[in-house]
């Protein structure tokens, strides 16, 4: 068995600024289908119908009480939102090396400075609501989802093209 894609290091980016060294932990957005249960007349059991995706969130814990990130919690972020990102270095057996890049757009919906303790680092946790995400591993696009632009590509295919054509955009 070969082990690949083991995370060794990562950096968080907020509004175009890298937070190298201060990102302690981050939770990448879950890509989870939104489903509804349906059981019509004559069906033996209900089945789930996919109706898109659940909302996308990104969270990060910084080992720094970062004023640049704190300022991003403003109520108005502009039409295009704020850019966020995570870049990761992964390795594996047989000297495998991989790069993962997650680009996101959204807005900070929560800043949690936590408790302060004298002589200890002041942490900052922040949470974002996203409207776009693009995951690239070793140069190959895995997901490209942009809610506003109607972009939906998974594994290099664009299953949403038929929907865009039907809607006229």
For range 66-95, the mean pLDDT: 85
Taken in order 111, 115, 119, 125, is the CA torsion positive or negative?
negative
pLDDT digits (tens, 9 = 90+) for 89-146: 999 888 889 999 999 999 999 999 999 999 998 999 999 999 999 999 999 999 999 9
Give the CATH number for residue 112: 2.30.110
Give a yes or no: residue 36 inside a domain: no
Domain count, the chain: 1
Q: How far is residue 77 from each of residues 54, 80, 81, 151, measured CA to CA in Å? A: 22, 8, 5, 21
1 CB-near residues (< 8 Å, 6+ apart): none
- Per DSSP, the three-state class of 85 is strand
Domain, as residue range, for 148? 6-31+55-167
Give a yes or no: residue 40 inside a domain: no
Q: Is there a contact between 13 and 48 (Cβ–Cβ < 8 Å)?
A: no
Give a yes or no: residue 24 inside a domain: yes
Give a yes or no: residue 90 inside a domain: yes
Give a yes or no: residue 78 inside a domain: yes
Give a yes or no: residue 37 inside a domain: no
Give a yes or no: residue 161 inside a domain: yes
Give a yes or no: residue 50 inside a domain: no
What's the pTM? 0.88
């Amino acid at each position: 068995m070969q082990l690949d894609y083991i995370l060794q290091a990562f950096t968080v980016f907020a509004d175009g600024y890298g937070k190298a060294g201060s990102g302690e932990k981050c939770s990448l957005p879950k890509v989870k289908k939104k489903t509804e249960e349906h059981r019509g007349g004559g069906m033996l059991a209900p089945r789930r119908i996919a109706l898109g995706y659940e909302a996308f969130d990104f969270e990060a814990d910084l080992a720094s009480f970062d004023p640049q990130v704190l300022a991003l919690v403003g109520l108005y972020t502009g039409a295009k939102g704020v850019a966020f990102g995570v870049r990761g270095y992964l390795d594996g057996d047989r000297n495998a090396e991989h790069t993962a890049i997650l680009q996101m757009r959204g807005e900070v919906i929560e800043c949690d400075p936590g408790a302060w303790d004298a002589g200890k680092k002041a942490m900052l946790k922040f949470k974002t609501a996203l409207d776009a995400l693009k995951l690239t591993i070793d140069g190959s696009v895995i997901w490209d989802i942009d809610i506003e632009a109607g972009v939906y590509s998974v594994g290099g295919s664009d299953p949403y093209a038929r929907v865009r054509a039907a809607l006229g955009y």
